[in-house]
Amino acid sequence: MMKAQLFAALLLTVAGCVLLFLGLYFPPEGEIHESVLVAFGEVSTFAGSLFGIDYHYKKKTNGGGAAK
């Protein structure tokens, strides 16, 4: 399960980076459109939430006490 989450987070982060760099090559060149930046932010947030949620519940269920 952890490998699948890690793979999804990695894939989404790479996809966000690709979108960011592709934004440099479409008109107007050299300027990243705001929609690309929003998409990258959403992808990064989702990837981070996968790690955070997984960490929280693994710590909670493995007897590590309440996650902070």
Can you give the residue ranges of every domain in the chain?
A: 2-61
pLDDT of 45 reads: 79
pLDDT of 44 reads: 77
pLDDT of 1 reads: 62
pLDDT of 33 reads: 76
Instruction: Average the pLDDT over 10-29 and give the result.
Output: 76
3-state secondary structure 37-61: HHHHHHHHHHHHHHHHHHHHHHHHH
The pTM score is 0.52
Helix and strand numbers (H, E) in the chain are 2, 0
Q: Which residue has the tokens 């930046």?
A: 37
Distance (Å, rounded) from C-alpha 48 to C-alpha 13?
9
How many CB atoms within 10 Å of residue 45?
12
Q: Is the pLDDT of residue 68 over 70?
A: no
